[in-house]
A = this chain, B = another copy of it.
Amino acid sequence: MTNTKSNNHPFLAACRREKTPYTPVWLMRQAGRYMKEYRELRARHGFLELCKNSDLAAEITVTPVERLGVDAAILFADILLLLEPLGVGLEYAKGDGPVIHQPVRSGKDVDGLKDFDPEKELSFVYDAVKKTCQALKNKVPLIGFAGAPFTLASYLIEGGGSRHYIHTKKLYYAAPQAWHRLMELLAALTAKYLNCQIAAGAQAVQIFDSWAGCLTPVDYEQFVLPHTRATIAGLTPGVPVIHFSTGTGGFLKLLRAAGGDVIGVDWRVHLDEAWERLGHDVAIQGNLDPGALLASPRDIRRRVEEILRRAGGRPGHIFNLGHGVLPETPVENVIAMVEAVHELSAR
């Protein structure tokens, strides 16, 4: 399912809430470990090495588009790439996920961060964007992405993955001024980083606030929302912005208030109820459980049908998972899912 008119791709049209011949679909982490092609490359290269090799990054980005028949490509990269030039000792430790060896835990730590120009320091990302666009030949649009300031800040503060975000919460309770300084820095860097991706050819961008679900609505409103809003407000006008988070089904309105043309929702809420709460004057992305791709193709189809039924044929729905593809997912199931979305929504 392709469309050669640059700005008229079903994915981009859906971002603008225009009618589309079918519901466009892509998957978070569609280029990832569940895919043999990717595992083979990873066996030979480190993760950071792949990110920094723009030829390989472009190859990894394009492969799932051809293999799965999805309606958008998402750049192969990582939200933490933006943190590396801050000088905090980012390392992709084997098996344990990313680690930050000098976590930020105080105002002094915040002030010690090395400011930098994302245009200069992350040129390999923009090279990958350019090469991907060349390879895609505008068959489908390319989505650029970045972490939202909160999710980036909590990585910096916790020093890696976290369960309770204790250091993060402690910092915004105990040192709100340092917190806001950090978030302002990250918002400015993120906006600039995304604008460079856009300048290099990305036709839409997604902001991942994957960890916002650890927050109360009160704390989100006070400590996070203004900075996500500033990030989004700083982006090149006219390029659709997808604002994604998980675990935030209880305060979707605040996510909406922070901005974005499309709000991404996880699977813990019915799509129609989420859309109702968000308001129908914004597009919505989601919301299949990544775990559902472990079911049989017949069961997957039934779940796709249920989500499409709840979307009700309303323009402005982009089908996706509620979070990234799980590494255990059979690629055949992903293909069955994409086919089911296209077929059932075209009826």
Q: Report the count of interface residues on A (CB-CB < 8 A).
A: 37
A99-133 CB contacts (< 8 Å) to partner B:
none
Closest CB of chain B to A238's CB: distance in Å? 32
Closest CB of chain B to A223's CB: distance in Å? 12
Is residue A328 within 8 Å, beta carbon to beta carbon, of the partner chain?
Answer: yes
User: How many monomers of this chain does the complex have?
Assistant: 2
Q: Which of B173, B270, B295 contacts A174 (CB 8 A)?
A: B295
Is residue A306 within 8 Å, beta carbon to beta carbon, of the partner chain?
Answer: yes
Closest CB of chain B to A220's CB: distance in Å? 9
B268 near A213 (CB under 8 angstroms)?
A: yes
A296, B166: Cα distance in complex, Å = 14
A326, B164: Cα distance in complex, Å = 8
Is residue A141 within 8 Å, beta carbon to beta carbon, of the partner chain?
Answer: no
Is residue A247 within 8 Å, beta carbon to beta carbon, of the partner chain?
Answer: yes
Closest CB of chain B to A119's CB: distance in Å? 36
Q: Identify which of A61-69, A203-211, A248-256 touches chain B.
A: A248-256
A217 near B270 (CB under 8 angstroms)?
A: yes
B247 near A268 (CB under 8 angstroms)?
A: yes
CB-CB under 8 A from A295, the residues of chain B are: 169-170, 173-174
Question: Across the two chains, which residue of chain B brings its CB closest to A302?
Answer: B218
A299 near B248 (CB under 8 angstroms)?
A: no
Is residue A303 within 8 Å, beta carbon to beta carbon, of the partner chain?
Answer: yes
A267 near B173 (CB under 8 angstroms)?
A: no
